[in-house]
A and B are shown apart, each in its own frame.
Chain A
Amino acid sequence: MTTLSLRGLAVLTFVSLAFFSNARADDDTIHVGEIASLTGKEATFGHSSHEGTLLAIEEINAAGGVLGKKIELITEDNATKPGESATIAKKLISRDKVVAILGEVASSRSLEIAPIAQAYKVPMISPASTNPTVTEKGNYIFRVCFIDPFQGTVMAKFAKQTLKATRVGVLTSVSSAYSVGLSKYFKETFAKNGGTIAIEQKFSEGEKDFNAQLTAIKAADVQAIFVPTYYTEAALIAKQARDLGITVPLFGGDGWEAPELLEIGGSAIEGLYYSTHYSPQADTPEVKGFVERFRKRWNGETPDAMAALGYDSARVLADAIKRAGTTKNTKLRDAIAHTKDFPGVTGKTTIDEHRNASKAAAIVTVHNGQFKFVQTVSP
């Protein structure tokens, strides 16, 4: 808490300095805004992405910055609250004169920032929002992660090829845009590849009892169950499934990735699979170097997917500023849009015509109570 309020104070001091000495500050540094959920319910996501982003900015500045200037990261916390992100975005643009905004992780909060960034023509790069509608808000909105249709396709292929399943059950949360979207794309691809969706059961956000749905799925005699939910539900579903004597594998998407999955799920999540953006165990020089530098900077913490995506979002932006040769909004926008084969830690990043990144997904399993990398699936 102390560090947070100190950081807040630092930001405040900086903001007031920038406010009073506007012209001079602009000459010395390039202002980049960051919006993250540093407190509240999804603080885990915000902290990870912030640590990754800050590490990237520090490295870029240590290497001499961009266009001969240092980058100044202005971080703001939205406390995981709806409505806050929009206010913060306006403040960052009009008061701090940021040249671009990095954030948010959650799609719902990115959707708040996007219309404002678009209206002021300030490029925005979301590190980890996978809902397709985020970048549809306008031509200034980008992301450095894959989107849910791709993730659904990857898991459908995985179910068929690796799990050898032809009959699967699906358990969807009907009140979560993420879950409904992912479920839809999974079912489409799985059926197209000749598989059968034997049964789909539904629940609403906030439910904790899935025994009834799981009993119905068990009676449908499936070979695997797709569970496109966030980690808390996934852990509870896995636990109840095992108690009901369901032994077939369960698998899901990137919403599963959090230490809470292991804490709540315990032995029930052993041997389950999910797709995500990257694994710290992947055997590439980019990942190894990143994990090592991240641990050194943040007291031995291992970077998760949000940290890696935060890191990549800042570096894609810095790369675009270099190529644009200016921070002027139209030129910067075009430079981001032309990002091609950028060597990020989450894979080679290419921004497509819909301003989404197409990149590989990593499949992770749980083995002996630890996340374990299985394979990479290319688009």
Chain B
Amino acid sequence: MVEFLQQVINGVSLGAIYALLALGYTMVYGVLRFINFAHCDVFMIGAFAGMYIGRHVPEETVWGGLTVLAGAMLICAVLGIVIERLAYRPLRSGPTLNVLITAIGVSLFLEYGAQDEHVFGQRPQAFPQIFPNTSFQLGDVRLSSNQLIVIVVTVILLVGLRLFVMRTRLGTAMRALSFNPKAAQLVGVNNNVVISATFGLGSALAGAGGILYAMNYPSIEPFMGVMPGLKAFVAAVLGGIGNIPGAALGGLLLGVVETFVNGSDYSTYKDAIAFAILILILLFRPAGLLGRSTVEKV
């Protein structure tokens, strides 16, 4: 029982990071109907930004940690907006496939650009301990402060995002755009501003995800985003792509399943089992777990 509860905690803290990253995929898909493959590299840049900012603030303090988190989110938001402006907007009137291929190009550019010796270099680097590090003993189950921070920050960001999308004018405009871009434009929504905001918001979440991931697994390198990015994309599809609560649910589910397989004798089949579950769910619910509303919308 103790082992079971411990694995649930491990799984939830891993799944929370997948969820944060999945939100970015889902938001962009909801608005523009394409998969932003460069998203996982924004996540990587977030981790590196955190490492550099972390060197200038006191280590192991709450305020230092929050500064790093906010700084990395800001840098990633700007990066996301710049990527959209330079790489995706000029192609927006063309077929979606063109943008998709460009996204792959941007992704490779960021990965191999970051590998350059004058940027981040190829060697894995150590990520500083930015928040205070302790662990809490709940009976025989152990929760490290890093895991707790991941869960708390993810919940805050998720609730914040939900409120933003449902309650603010910009959020309403985003939803309008995802229903019908042309109609939204006709009723006075500035599509360019809304799309920029979507990229900025999604990228900021990726930046936060990068910091949280690097805190728990403090060895960062330019390709660190590839596997979590793939998993988060799967999580977004699992929950129903275009659906924000679905992405969060998909991320959590994937994290918990992976952790349980990892802790069993079949740990090397982890990804195979996780993807088999994905296929099964999609066979019975083609739109994903919470994807029904999206289907109705279209």
* Cα distance, A28 to B8, chains bound together (Å): 70
* Cα distance, A1 to B144, chains bound together (Å): 42
Task: Tell me whether B129 is interfacial, beta carbon within 8 Å.
Answer: yes
Return chain B residues, CB-CB under 8 Å to A212: 7, 10-11, 258-263, 267
A259 CB to closest chain B CB (Å) equals 10
Q: Are B124's CB and A260's CB within 8 A? A: yes
B161 CB to closest chain A CB (Å) equals 25
Return chain B residues, CB-CB under 8 Å to A204: 268, 270
Interface string of A203-244 (1 = CB under 8 A from B): 110101101110110110000000000001001100110011
Provide the main secondary structure of the chain A interface: helix
* Cα distance, A282 to B2, chains bound together (Å): 45
Task: Tell me whether A266 is interfacial, beta carbon within 8 Å.
Answer: yes
Task: Tell me whether A300 is interfacial, beta carbon within 8 Å.
Answer: no
* Cα distance, A358 to B130, chains bound together (Å): 46
Q: Are B14's CB and A209's CB within 8 A? A: yes
Task: Tell me whether A354 is interfacial, beta carbon within 8 Å.
Answer: no
Q: Are A174's CB and B135's CB within 8 A? A: no
Return chain A residues, CB-CB under 8 Å to B264: 216
Spell out A's residues near B (CB within 8 Å). Answer: 1, 40-41, 43-44, 174, 201-204, 206, 208-209, 211-213, 215-216, 218-219, 232, 235-236, 239-240, 243-245, 260, 263-264, 266
Q: Are B144's CB and A213's CB within 8 A? A: no
Q: Are A215's CB and B6's CB within 8 A? A: yes
Interface size on B, residues (CB 8 A): 37
Q: Are B219's CB and A208's CB within 8 A? A: yes
Task: Tell me whether B196 is interfacial, beta carbon within 8 Å.
Answer: no
* Cα distance, A245 to B139, chains bound together (Å): 12
Q: Which of B1-50 contact A (CB under 8 A)?
A: 2-3, 6-7, 10-11, 13-14
Return chain A residues, CB-CB under 8 Å to B268: 174, 202-204
Return chain A residues, CB-CB under 8 Å to B93: none
Return chain B residues, CB-CB under 8 Å to A1: 117
Task: Tell me whether B142 is interfacial, beta carbon within 8 Å.
Answer: yes
B47 CB to closest chain A CB (Å) equals 12
A200 CB to closest chain B CB (Å) equals 9
* Cα distance, A43 to B6, chains bound together (Å): 39
Q: Are B124's CB and A208's CB within 8 A? A: no
Q: Which of B246-268 contact A (CB under 8 A)?
A: 258-264, 267-268
Return chain B residues, CB-CB under 8 Å to A244: 6, 142, 144
29 contacts between A and B (CB under 8 A): A41-B122, A41-B123, A201-B263, A202-B267, A202-B268, A203-B262, A204-B268, A208-B219, A209-B10, A209-B14, A211-B10, A212-B11, A212-B260, A212-B262, A212-B267, A213-B263, A215-B3, A216-B3, A216-B264, A232-B219, A239-B218, A243-B135, A243-B144, A243-B147, A245-B135, A260-B124, A263-B125, A263-B126, A264-B219
Q: Write the chain B residue with the least CB distance to A217.
A: B263
Q: Are B10's CB and A215's CB within 8 A? A: yes
Task: Tell me whether B178 is interfacial, beta carbon within 8 Å.
Answer: no
B117 CB to closest chain A CB (Å) equals 7
Task: Tell me whether B137 is interfacial, beta carbon within 8 Å.
Answer: yes
Return chain B residues, CB-CB under 8 Å to A219: 2-3
Known A208-B219, A245-B135, A245-B137; 13 more pairs at CB < 8 Å: A1-B117, A41-B123, A44-B123, A201-B267, A203-B267, A208-B217, A208-B224, A209-B259, A211-B13, A212-B259, A243-B147, A260-B219, A264-B124
Task: Tell me whether B198 is interfacial, beta carbon within 8 Å.
Answer: no
Q: Write the chain A residue with the least CB distance to B226.
A: A206
* Cα distance, A186 to B137, chains bound together (Å): 34
Q: Write the chain A residue with the least CB distance to B123.
A: A41
Q: Are A236's CB and B218's CB within 8 A? A: yes
* Cα distance, A232 to B267, chains bound together (Å): 20
Q: Which of B53-101 contact A (CB under 8 A)?
A: none
Return chain B residues, CB-CB under 8 Å to A174: 268
* Cα distance, A42 to B182, chains bound together (Å): 53
Q: Write the chain A residue with the least CB distance to B223.
A: A206
A222 CB to closest chain B CB (Å) equals 14
